[in-house]
């Protein structure tokens, strides 16, 4: 219950944040622009709308997760409101659970708004999307979850600026881990080979949540995700989700450990 | 606190397991085969935010891996041109990329037109490296049989700093005695001098031997003509040419075989290289 109160408060705090609206407006603008851009193309209009739209949703969602997430804990410490909260009968981990779920709920709401915008543009252009579309959004949301946990982790011990840089770096590198592995495997230096393999497994592989190309192709061809690669598609969603949840859990627990160790006296 | 640490430790194995599972599933879905994705430089240039030379290096590393991949070697490097083109778009002063790309495309890939396109792109940059016009000249001479253009590029190369002293002589030779295998051998020997890579050297050495076979065959056929004019009939074997004093000796076959007269056609042939080298004709794959 107490977590819920914190979560609700976090949600209220987040939706009052100006940065959220900046990002949301830009996201909607770009999604709208995708409709206009697509008219310049010969054929494949829906592909262009979906490509741009899903990219905008992912990028702006990640930016929301980062820029709201980095202040989650730090702001409370900075404004000293944390003392009043922690003096109440609430465990520290409950506080973090509340913060985390509050932000995730904010992100979910924004994801729904952006998705509604994208679906609207698609319909305006005389096309329609099928259920396949939502599998893609689901994995995009899993990426938000993971990024939020990272932002929360950094927010527990670092300033917002540094946290933003760290989290953004993780976002970038998370999409490049396969290149790290590739170059490492081609190196003749055994140390480099080992190091790149270890990095490949330790860093979050955000490409695991990226099925945009596959999904868009499926939609454009009028197929359903269930038809893709004889059931492999659904398994992929399942295991990617599990991977995201396990990884997020580890990061979240690390955040709890750090937060528990902090001295607020 | 201990509970948290233990929980994290418990969570690590399933994270790896699901990770591996996702990896396996992704490779099952991927259908694009073994081809590389090579972005367009028109996109990559702005996207690299001014770090274009660094991105060029990154793609150069990928190019080197691509060249080293035996699979693509056997396929004749279908994407090498695009890779080198991207690298040199991102960093137009990347001389080594032009040079290596150009040589490998023609010598290994058999993609002479692409090789020339890359080398000419580098040549237009006026970077001042003599190697680029030199290999351009080589392509025009060896693969396309365009001696005039080849000589032109060699002359250009000879004007650039640190170029070898023999270049003007070679260019003159090209113009004067273009069809002469000796000219080709001289050119190839100079190419060989500029190769460090062992595999490349072997490839060029092979070519030199092929031209030597051609030279010997031309030599022997001239001797046969003389024989026929003198005795009114073709010789029984090549030994007749020596015993009748037309030539001093039968030249040794560079691949370790021997030369003989084909009884059916009357042509001189090598026991190793059955096909006569069409050195002055196009040798282009595809």
**Would B277 be classed as within a structural domain?**
no
In chain A, whose CA is at the least distance from the CA of B8?
Answer: A250
Per-residue pLDDT band for B198 (boundaries 50, 70, 90) equals confident
**Would B214 be classed as within a structural domain?**
yes
The three-state secondary structure class of A187 is coil
Per-residue pLDDT band for B30 (boundaries 50, 70, 90) equals low
More confidently predicted of A232 and A92 = A92
**Would B23 be classed as within a structural domain?**
no
Domain extent, residue A129, equals: 2-175+210-261
Q: Per-residue pLDDT for B33 more than 60?
A: no
In chain A, whose CA is at the least distance from the CA of B63?
Answer: A183
Q: Which residues of B touch A228 (CB under 8 A)?
A: 29
Domain boundary among B106, B127, B148: B127
Angle separating helix axes A132-155 and A160-174, nearest 10 degrees: 140
ipTM: 0.74
**Would B281 be classed as within a structural domain?**
no
Rounded Cα distance, A211 and B136, in Å: 45
**Would A194 be classed as within a structural domain?**
no
Domain count, chain A: 1
Rounded Cα distance, A28 and A243, in Å: 30
Average pLDDT of chain A, as a whole number = 88
**Would B215 be classed as within a structural domain?**
yes
Phi, psi of B76 (to 5 degrees): 80, 25
Most A-contacting residue of B19, B51, B65 (CB-CB within 10 A), to test interface: B19
Angle separating helix axes B198-231 and B95-107, nearest 10 degrees: 40
Q: Per-residue pLDDT for B3 more than 50?
A: yes
**Would A16 be classed as within a structural domain?**
yes
Contact B14 A232 (CB under 8 A): no
Looking at residue B277, what is its pLDDT? Answer: 61
More confidently predicted of B152 and A45 = B152
Per-residue pLDDT band for A265 (boundaries 50, 70, 90) equals low
Looking at residue B286, what is its pLDDT? Answer: 35
Domain count, chain B: 2
- Count of other CB atoms within 10 angstroms of residue A230: 8
Looking at residue B34, what is its pLDDT? Answer: 54
Q: Per-residue pLDDT for B285 more than 50?
A: no
**Would B178 be classed as within a structural domain?**
no
What percent of chain B is modeled with pLDDT above 70?
Answer: 92
Contact A183 B15 (CB under 8 A): no
Domain extent, residue B101, equals: 37-127
Contact B5 A257 (CB under 8 A): yes
Burial status of residue A142 (CB atoms within 10 A of its CB: 0-12, 13-18, 19 or more)? buried
Burial status of residue A120 (CB atoms within 10 A of its CB: 0-12, 13-18, 19 or more)? middle
Domain boundary among B61, B92, B127: B127
Contact A242 B14 (CB under 8 A): yes
Looking at residue B236, what is its pLDDT? Answer: 83
Contact A205 B19 (CB under 8 A): yes
What percent of chain B is modeled with pLDDT above 90?
Answer: 19
**Would B187 be classed as within a structural domain?**
no
**Would B85 be classed as within a structural domain?**
yes
What is the per-residue pLDDT across A142-192, written as a single tens digit (0 to 9) for each? 999 999 999 999 999 889 999 999 999 999 999 888 888 888 887 888 898
**Would A198 be classed as within a structural domain?**
no
Rounded Cα distance, B14 and B21, in Å: 10
Q: Which residues of B touch A254 (CB under 8 A)?
A: 8
What percent of chain A is modeled with pLDDT above 70?
Answer: 98
Looking at residue A25, what is its pLDDT? Answer: 92
Query: Mean pLDDT over residues A123-134, rounded?
Result: 84
Q: Which of B1, B8, B28 sits opposite A250 (nearest CB)?
A: B8
**Would A72 be classed as within a structural domain?**
yes
Q: Which residues of A touch B43 (CB under 8 A)?
A: none
Domain boundary among B127, B153, B184: B127
């Amino acid at each position: 219950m107490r977590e819920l109160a914190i979560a609700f408060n976090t949600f209220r705090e987040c939706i009052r944040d100006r940065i959220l609206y900046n990002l949301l407006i830009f996201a909607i603008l770009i999604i709208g622009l995708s409709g206009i851009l697509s008219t310049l193309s010969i054929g494949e209009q829906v592909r262009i709308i979906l490509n741009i739209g899903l990219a905008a949703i992912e990028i702006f969602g990640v930016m929301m997760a980062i820029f709201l997430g980095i202040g989650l804990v730090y702001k409370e410490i900075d404004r000293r409101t944390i003392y009043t909260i922690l003096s109440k009968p609430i465990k520290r981990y409950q506080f973090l659970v509340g913060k985390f779920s509050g932000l995730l709920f904010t992100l979910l709401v924004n994801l729904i708004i952006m998705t509604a915008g994208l679906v609207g543009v698609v319909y305006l252009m005389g096309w329609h999307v099928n259920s396949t579309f939502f599998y893609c959004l689901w994995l995009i949301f899993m990426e938000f979850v993971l990024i939020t946990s990272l932002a929360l982790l950094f927010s527990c011990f670092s300033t917002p600026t540094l946290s933003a840089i760290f989290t953004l770096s993780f976002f970038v590198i998370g999409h490049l881990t396969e290149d790290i592995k590739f170059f490492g495997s081609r190196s003749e230096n055994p140390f480099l080979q080992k190091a790149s393999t270890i990095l490949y497994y330790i860093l979050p592989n955000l490409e695991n949540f990226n099925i945009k190309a596959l999904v868009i192709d499926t939609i454009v061809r009028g197929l359903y995700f269930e038809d893709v690669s004889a059931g492999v598609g659904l398994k992929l969603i399942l295991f990617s989700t599990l991977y995201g949840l396990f990884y997020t859990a580890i990061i979240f627990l690390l955040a709890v450990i750090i937060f528990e160790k902090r001295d607020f006296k | 606190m201990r509970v948290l640490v233990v929980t994290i430790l418990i969570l690590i194995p399933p994270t790896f397991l699901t990770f591996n599972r996702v990896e396996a599933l992704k490779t099952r879905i991927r259908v694009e085969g073994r081809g590389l994705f090579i972005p367009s430089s028109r996109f990559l240039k702005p996207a690299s935010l001014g770090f274009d030379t660094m991105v060029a290096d990154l793609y150069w590393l990928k190019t080197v891996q691509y060249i080293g991949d035996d699979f693509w070697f056997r396929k004749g490097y279908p994407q090498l041109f695009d890779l080198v083109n991207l690298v040199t778009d991102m960093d137009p002063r990347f001389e080594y990329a032009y040079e290596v790309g150009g040589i490998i495309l023609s010598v290994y890939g058999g993609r002479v037109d692409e090789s020339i396109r890359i080398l000419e792109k580098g040549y237009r940059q006026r970077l001042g490296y003599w190697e680029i016009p030199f290999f351009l000249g080589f392509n025009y001479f060896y693969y396309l049989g365009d001696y005039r253009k080849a000589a032109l590029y060699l002359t250009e190369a000879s004007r650039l700093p640190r170029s070898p002293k023999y270049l003007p002589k070679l260019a003159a030779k090209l113009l004067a005695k273009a069809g002469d295998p000796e000219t080709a051998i001289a050119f190839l020997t100079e190419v060989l001098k500029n190769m460090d890579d062992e595999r490349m050297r072997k490839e060029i050495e092979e070519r030199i031997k092929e031209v030597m076979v051609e030279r010997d065959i031309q030599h022997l056929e001239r001797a046969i003509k003389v024989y026929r004019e003198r005795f009114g009939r073709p010789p029984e074997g090549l030994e007749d040419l020596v015993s009748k004093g037309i030539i001093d000796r039968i030249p040794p076959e560079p691949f370790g075989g021997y030369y003989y007269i084909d009884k059916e056609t009357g042509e001189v042939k090598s026991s190793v290289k059955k096909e006569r080298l069409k050195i002055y004709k196009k040798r282009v794959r595809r």
